Amino acid sequence: MKILVIGGGGREHALVWKLAQSAKADQIYCAPGNAGTAEIATNVPLSDNDIPALLKFASDNSIGLTVVGPEIPLVDGIVDVFKASGLRIFGPDARASILEGSKVFTKELLAKYQIPTADYHRFDDAEAARKFLSTNTTYPIVIKADGLAAGKGVLIITTPEAAEIGIKEIMEDRVFGDAGSEIIIEEFLSGPELSMLCFVDSHTVVPMVSAKDYKRIGEGETGLNTGGMGAISPNPLYDQELEDHCLTMIIEPSLAGMRQEGRPFKGILYCGIMLTESGPKVLEYNVRFGDPETQVILPRLETDLVDIFEAIIDDRLAEVAVKWDEQTAATIVLASGGYPESYPKGLAISGLEQVSGSTVFHAGTKIANNSIVTSGGRVLTVTSMGATVEAALQLSYANAEKIEFEGKTIRTDIGS
């Protein structure tokens, strides 16, 4: 079978790497891919948002399975468009992808079906939001743009002045475009975070092994939010009791609610959860694999990923025994200097050939003049497996040190 993976980050390199292990995968294409996917697949120079061009490529090349990495094409309805042309594609349709596409929709769903989440108010008018905040006396408080904002649409607000700036930038200056035509103002929650990812078809939910993502740029979870600077799997706080609790109290009622609303979900459901003193609460839903969580989850998957994706498309997930490696996985992100703000691109990367015992997943890299250069904020992720998290981390850090590019930035406290 010919397989097309859409996207070009570390998550997509990990997806291509895992799919390539399947005996069913004859040829894999990645659009647009990166320098890492180019080593094991054929990169196709198409944007991951260009649905008509991707559809034409898949039809012209008899692609038997398309796998979508990022959220934007899912929210824009790529699954609906491919299915309408008779092409097999893995992921939720546009009606179900609203779980990530609209935070207002998701908060209303969670409230309607009594699923634990932060208390909130929604506003489509900046003046009404200001009026509400003028009576607010407790900080921090959280402001979220309704729509997709590349992970930047969540503001933790600690002063009335910052709240005013946030409302002005999101709702009036529209720094996130139409994603800011409505906002949520919600209660600040505290506690450790958990990423819970599940395989979902119309009848069955299979939770994956757990992961913990390290989101801030600075040591000790300080500084700006990033896409994620490292991850470990399993999450040390996770056990069977917590999994059962999250499935019964959060995941299953959310999926039942989606069916009730005429928006049945299938694909990858990613729930961001905060373990608060009053129990686990939903922070957000994503409708895709996480990045860098995928780089620690897929290396632990023993089952053929093509079989799992095909079973989900055909609603046969219950028939597949999904098996995991007991070892721990850890990944360290090598980011560009300046990330998550502005950073240079096109810098030479050296030392990749010296890595041993770890798998390097490329994120923001490309090939220029026959050599590998930086092309994004998160450049590479170095994943290792180990009997303990310490062993996996030690190997990843040792290999991360062998790789060089100007401004290379890593967090030295992943796993803590």
Which positions touch ligand AMP (CB under 6 A)?
A: 118, 142, 154, 156, 186-189, 193, 215, 272, 283-284
DSSP bridge partners of 196? 271
Instruction: Name which of 60, 53, 100 is nearest 78 in CA terms.
Output: 53
Pick 72 or 89: Cβ nearer ligand AMP = 72
12 binds ligand GLY (CB under 6 A): no
CB of 148 to ligand AMP, least distance (A): 10
186 binds ligand GLY (CB under 6 A): no
Pick 91 or 227: Cβ nearer ligand GLY = 227
Ordered alpha helix ranges (H), 203-339: 240-246, 252-260, 294-297, 305-313
Strands 267-276 and 279-286, bridge-based pairing: antiparallel
Q: In one letter, which amino acid is 304?
A: D
Pick 4 or 363: Cβ nearer ligand GLY = 363
Residue 310 touches which of ligand GLY, ligand AMP, none (CB < 5 to 8 A by kind)? none
Pick 253 or 290: Cβ nearer ligand AMP = 290
Residue carrying the six token digits 């299915």: 83
Residue carrying the six token digits 């069977």: 240
Give the whole-angstrom CA distance, residue 17 versus residue 284.
Answer: 28
* Contact residue for ligand GLY among 7, 8, 10, 228 (CB under 6 A): 228
226 binds ligand GLY (CB under 6 A): no
Structural contact between residues 305 and 374, judged by C-beta atoms closer than 8 angstroms = no
* Cα Rg of the chain (Å, integer): 21
CB of 86 to ligand GLY, least distance (A): 31
Q: In one letter, which amino acid is 80?
A: D
Restricted to residues 154-173, the positions that interact with ligand GLY (CB under 6 A) are none
293 binds ligand GLY (CB under 6 A): yes
Per-residue contact track with ligand GLY, 195 to 224, x per CB under 6 A?
------------------x-----------
377 binds ligand GLY (CB under 6 A): no
Instruction: Name which of 72, 4, 7 is nearest 362 in CA terms.
Output: 7
Instruction: Tell me the HSE value of 77 on the side-chain side, using a 13 A CA sphere.
Output: 6
Look up residue 136 and give its two tokens.
């607010």
| Segment interacting with ligand GLY, rule: CB under 6 A, options 12-20, 283-291, 346-354, 366-374 | 283-291
Ordered alpha helix ranges (H), 120-206: 126-134, 160-167
Residue 142 touches which of ligand AMP, ligand GLY, none (CB < 5 to 8 A by kind)? ligand AMP
Instruction: Name which of 188, 99, 101 is nearest 149 in CA terms.
Output: 101
Residue 149 touches which of ligand GLY, ligand AMP, none (CB < 5 to 8 A by kind)? none
* Contact residue for ligand GLY among 43, 102, 106, 286 (CB under 6 A): 286
290 binds ligand GLY (CB under 6 A): yes
